[in-house]
Amino acid sequence: MDLSIIIINYKTKKITADCLETITKSRDNLTKEVIVVDNGSADGSFESLKAKFPQYHVLSSGGNLGFARGNNFGVDHAKGEYIWLLNSDTLIKPNTISTLMECVKSHDSQLASCQLLNPDGSIQPQGGYLPDLWRLALWMLFIDDLPLIKSLIKPYHQNLKSFFQTDQYPGWLAGTALLIRRDVYEKLNGLDKNIFMYGEDVEFCLRAKQQGVRIDYFCQPQLTHLGQASGSSRGAILGEYQGLTYIYKKYFNHCQRLILKILLKLGAILRIIILRNRIYAEAFRLA
């Protein structure tokens, strides 16, 4: 089998159904399967999706495993040569899968993603470069938002839309639509089960880079990402703080972890003052 598409559903019955509808309209000649993992939604999602899409594998994980463990659960049931971790709040185009797989095959890619679009058709930035302390300092201090600076550096969060108009080799890509060759996924033992949600994509890409895996971003295949439909801005902010703290605990020494803590706390204070976002008060306590 060529491709296994893994989708996590958690209380997003309608959104997931919309995503699956677009997959049914895909124009490709691949042998593929779709595995929907219901993460204990308890809202009738499992029964509804199973009845509406009998051609797909709708599985119950038995509880809310989170994004990483939920995807690992799905991959355990997958048979494809390639694994595509696809968010439930995405809508693919009829040629998305065929174009993405053509790019992957022609570049011998092991880990890749495509161009994400906002609902209005504009480019949605994703990914960036791996979070060393220098990049995190530029991010926390808003320096990488300065027009001249952002075009000269390789930031942790890449938000230059022009960047995403050509093929690239970033340090990490979002888990929104991450395509991974199965043998690479297995070699890396899947996503880190200790990360519930947010940061698992950065951590996975970091491990992949350590193993010499090139990360490919392709600008031609496109899909729409609704964004925050299956999460929240609060969850994203706090989850990223927790994810970075975990990554530094796992891979970096005590001194580097201490510097990270200072940077995250300073960044939280600046965002409370400048952005007037009280969520960062919680982030400050997490750092």
What stretches in the chain show pLDDT beneath 70? 228-232
241-287 pLDDT per residue, tens: 999 999 999 999 999 999 999 999 999 999 999 999 999 999 999 98
Residue 116: per-residue pLDDT: 98
Residue 42: per-residue pLDDT: 86
Q: Domain of 139? A: 132-154+232-287
SS3 labels along the chain: CCEEEEEEECCCHHHHHHHHHHHHCCCCCCCEEEEEEECCCCCCHHHHHHHHCCCCEEEECCCCCHHHHHHHHHHHCCCCCEEEEECCCEEECCCHHHHHHHHHHHHCCCEEEEEEECCCCCECCCCECCCCHHHHHHHHCCHHHCHHHHCCCCCCCCCCHHHHHCCECCCECCCCEEEEEHHHHHHCCCCCCCCCCCCHHHHHHHHHHHCCCCEEEEEEEEEEECCCCCCCHHHHHHHHHHHHHHHHHHHCCHHHHHHHHHHHHHHHHHHHHHCCCCHHHHHHHHC
Residue 228: per-residue pLDDT: 58
Residue 117 main-chain phi, psi, to 5 deg: -120, 145
Are 112 and 137 part of one and the same domain?
A: no
Nearest to 156 by CA among 254, 55, 247: 247
Are 273 and 167 part of one and the same domain?
A: no
Are 218 and 247 part of one and the same domain?
A: no
Are 261 and 276 part of one and the same domain?
A: yes
Are 60 and 48 part of one and the same domain?
A: yes
Are 183 and 43 part of one and the same domain?
A: yes
**Is 144 in contact with 207 (CB distance < 8 Å)?**
no
Which residues are within 8 A (CB) of 130 and not within 5 positions of it... i.e. 6 or more apart?
156, 171, 172, 202, 205, 206, 209
In whole angstroms, how far apart are CA 216 and each of 81, 104, 213, 263?
A: 17, 8, 10, 29
Residue 235: per-residue pLDDT: 87
Q: How many domains does the chain have?
A: 2
Q: pTM of whole model > 0.85?
A: yes
Which residues are within 8 A (CB) of 113 and not within 5 positions of it... i.e. 6 or more apart?
126, 127, 173, 174, 176, 177, 178, 179, 216, 217, 218
Residue 183 main-chain phi, psi, to 5 deg: -65, -30
Residue 40's domain is classified under what CATH number?
3.90.550.10
Are 188 and 65 part of one and the same domain?
A: yes
Count of Cβ atoms closer than 10 Å to residue 13 Cβ: 20
Residue 232: per-residue pLDDT: 58
Residue 257: per-residue pLDDT: 98
Residue 230: per-residue pLDDT: 45
Give me 242's structure tokens. Answer: 């927790």
Are 71 and 114 part of one and the same domain?
A: yes
Are 62 and 176 part of one and the same domain?
A: yes
Angle at 34 between CA 27 and CA 53, to 5 degrees: 90
Residue 124: per-residue pLDDT: 96
Give me 106's structure tokens. Answer: 């022609």
Nearest to 262 by CA among 130, 133, 158: 133
Are 220 and 198 part of one and the same domain?
A: yes
**Is 65 in contact with 34 (CB distance < 8 Å)?**
no
**Is 219 in contact with 96 (CB distance < 8 Å)?**
no
Are 137 and 273 part of one and the same domain?
A: yes
Are 188 and 279 part of one and the same domain?
A: no
